[in-house]
Homo-oligomer: A and B are copies of this chain.
Amino acid sequence: MSMRAAVSFAAMLAASVATFGVPAFAADEPISPIEPAKVTNPGLVELGKKLYFDPRLSKSGFISCNSCHNLSMGGTDNLKTSIGHNWQQGPINSPTVLNSSLNVAQFWDGRALTLQEQAGGPIANPGEMGSTHALAVEVLRSIPEYQKEFGEVFGETKITIEEVTKAIAAFEETLVTPNSRFDQWLKGDKKALTTVELEGYELFKDSGCTACHNGSAVGGNTFQKMGVVEPYKTNNPAEGRIAVTKEEADRFNFKVPTLRNVALTYPYFHDGEAATLSDAVDVMGRIQLGKKFSPDENGKIVAFLKTLTGDQPSFALPILPPSTDKTPKPHPFD
């Protein structure tokens, strides 16, 4: 595992805290600290990292997982909706991959129960990476270094899409972001937050935001209606969780997004229509809570939200094994 020293230090710290129990200080709060990832199979994670960055999983040879969940940019593409194969406009805002292992399910409508199930989706989605599972696997099978690495990780294998997605998911599970200033505060460092940030946190709690945005991911753990007090107006046709459950009660229910690293994951909402944190706080206050935050209140809540940026994953850019003469060629323009 190639996290940086700061993360390793945080890991030790977290381990020692775990040994003696979580301090009472944090236990009273609706938000709990992000714990560093525990890597049990580093070979699997390294393989998954390569696959995450490999654009040969797409039809064009140009789009990788990292294209839309860019680990240089908070695990997102910072676009309203993503760019897919042939520059198709995606239907929905790409959620951050950071801390996604803490989500109750994946995608805005929760249609994938696990990261592994999610990872297979974009590869074969004609509007995203535009490939097929069979072709992606054929590409990987043609590359001796991948054959060897899959063999080392999975034992004798022909390489399967289940192995591909398992490896990607294992890498994604390492993409947690501990050690935010808010978590330092949760763990007892009372100087980690400014007065304004703490006032923002109190407002965040007192206003009811923590009804949905709670737990270690500050969200991600329930589905909730977008527009409780007044309807949310959008041109985006996504209908939310009803697409999965077929229950009318789930219409316009979306997975509550994590607020971890929210300063990095703009723009906001499933349609990406809130350009700034200030906008997002304003809309959420009005349509979810029936509150009109004053500019001063809005600023304080935004200041608190910015304390949720944790240590970003740090690792060497993976070097991908080259294709061979037998590797199926990319088809970017047909």
Contact = CB atoms under 8 A, between A and B. Distances in A.
Interface of A: 4, 53-56, 60-62, 67, 70-74, 77-79, 83, 86-87, 89, 263-264, 266, 275-276, 278, 312-320, 322-323, 325, 329-330, 332-333
Given A275-B325, A316-B4, A317-B72, A62 B86 contact: no
Contact of A72 (B60, B263, B266, B319): B319
The copy count of this chain in the complex is 2
Contact of A60 (B60, B83, B315): B83
Given A72-B53, A83-B332, A77 B62 contact: yes
A292 to B, nearest CB: 20
Given A83-B62, A314-B316, A332-B83, A263 B77 contact: no
A319 B79 CA distance: 17
Q: Taking chain A's interface residues, is the majority helix, strand, or loop, or is none over half, making it mixed?
A: loop
Given A61-B78, A77-B62, A317-B316, A325 B276 contact: yes
A309 to B, nearest CB: 8
A317 B62 CA distance: 18
A77 B61 CA distance: 8
A331 to B, nearest CB: 10
A266 B61 CA distance: 12
Given A314-B316, A316-B314, A317-B71, A330 B266 contact: no
Given A79-B332, A83-B62, A83-B332, A72 B325 contact: no
B275 A72 contact: no
B329 A72 contact: no
A145 to B, nearest CB: 12
A99 to B, nearest CB: 16
A322 B318 CA distance: 23
A266 B275 CA distance: 40
Nearest to A78: B61
Contacts of A275: 325, 329
Contacts of A313: 317
Contact of A315 (B74, B263, B316, B333): B316
